Amino acid sequence: MPSLHFAATVYNGVDTNEFTFHDTKVRMQHGLDGSHQKKGVVEAIRVARSVGIPLKIAAAIDPIDQPFF
Protein backbone atom coordinates (compact mmCIF):
# COMPACT_ATOMS: atom_id res chain seq x y z
CA MET A 1 0.00 0.00 0.00
CA PRO A 2 1.98 2.98 -1.26
CA SER A 3 -0.03 5.45 0.82
CA LEU A 4 1.17 3.93 4.11
CA HIS A 5 4.31 5.21 5.80
CA PHE A 6 6.58 2.27 6.64
CA ALA A 7 8.25 2.76 10.00
CA ALA A 8 9.82 -0.64 10.75
CA THR A 9 9.30 -4.36 10.76
CA VAL A 10 8.49 -5.94 14.11
CA TYR A 11 9.45 -9.60 14.15
CA ASN A 12 7.88 -12.08 16.51
CA GLY A 13 9.76 -15.18 17.35
CA VAL A 14 12.37 -16.51 19.68
CA ASP A 15 16.09 -15.79 19.66
CA THR A 16 17.37 -19.37 19.70
CA ASN A 17 20.80 -18.15 20.80
CA GLU A 18 19.27 -17.47 24.23
CA PHE A 19 18.56 -21.17 24.82
CA THR A 20 20.75 -24.23 25.29
CA PHE A 21 20.00 -27.32 23.19
CA HIS A 22 19.18 -30.44 25.22
CA ASP A 23 18.89 -33.74 23.39
CA THR A 24 15.95 -35.02 25.43
CA LYS A 25 12.31 -35.65 24.67
CA VAL A 26 9.92 -33.08 26.05
CA ARG A 27 6.21 -32.49 25.83
CA MET A 28 5.48 -30.04 23.07
CA GLN A 29 2.91 -27.29 23.37
CA HIS A 30 1.94 -24.76 20.74
CA GLY A 31 0.13 -21.62 21.85
CA LEU A 32 -1.42 -19.39 19.25
CA ASP A 33 -2.31 -15.73 19.37
CA GLY A 34 -5.54 -16.20 17.51
CA SER A 35 -6.09 -19.15 15.22
CA HIS A 36 -5.11 -18.57 11.66
CA GLN A 37 -3.79 -21.17 9.23
CA LYS A 38 -0.59 -19.14 8.83
CA LYS A 39 0.30 -19.45 12.53
CA GLY A 40 2.17 -22.71 11.95
CA VAL A 41 -0.17 -25.15 13.66
CA VAL A 42 0.03 -27.66 10.79
CA GLU A 43 3.81 -27.56 10.90
CA ALA A 44 3.77 -28.02 14.69
CA ILE A 45 1.54 -31.10 14.31
CA ARG A 46 3.86 -32.56 11.65
CA VAL A 47 6.96 -32.02 13.80
CA ALA A 48 5.32 -33.54 16.89
CA ARG A 49 4.17 -36.59 14.93
CA SER A 50 7.54 -37.06 13.24
CA VAL A 51 9.44 -37.12 16.54
CA GLY A 52 6.74 -38.97 18.48
CA ILE A 53 5.92 -36.45 21.18
CA PRO A 54 2.51 -35.25 22.38
CA LEU A 55 1.27 -31.87 21.27
CA LYS A 56 -1.28 -29.68 23.03
CA ILE A 57 -2.67 -26.71 21.13
CA ALA A 58 -4.47 -23.80 22.76
CA ALA A 59 -6.10 -21.19 20.56
CA ALA A 60 -9.13 -19.04 20.07
CA ILE A 61 -10.69 -20.15 16.79
CA ASP A 62 -12.40 -17.41 14.85
CA PRO A 63 -15.61 -18.43 13.07
CA ILE A 64 -14.02 -17.86 9.65
CA ASP A 65 -11.24 -20.33 10.52
CA GLN A 66 -13.49 -23.09 11.93
CA PRO A 67 -13.68 -25.07 8.65
CA PHE A 68 -9.87 -25.28 8.57
CA PHE A 69 -9.61 -26.53 12.14
The pLDDT tens digits for 45-67 are 888 889 888 887 777 777 887 88
Q: Label residue 34 by pLDDT band (50, 70, 90).
A: low
Residue type, 41: V
Specify the pLDDT at position 68. 79
Are the C-beta atoms of residues 30 and 14 closer than 8 Å to each other? no
- On whether the pTM is more than 0.95, the answer is no
Kindly indicate the confidence band of residue 29, based on its pLDDT and cuts at 50, 70 and 90.
Answer: low
Distances (CA, A) of 14 to 3, 22, 27, 61: 31, 16, 18, 24
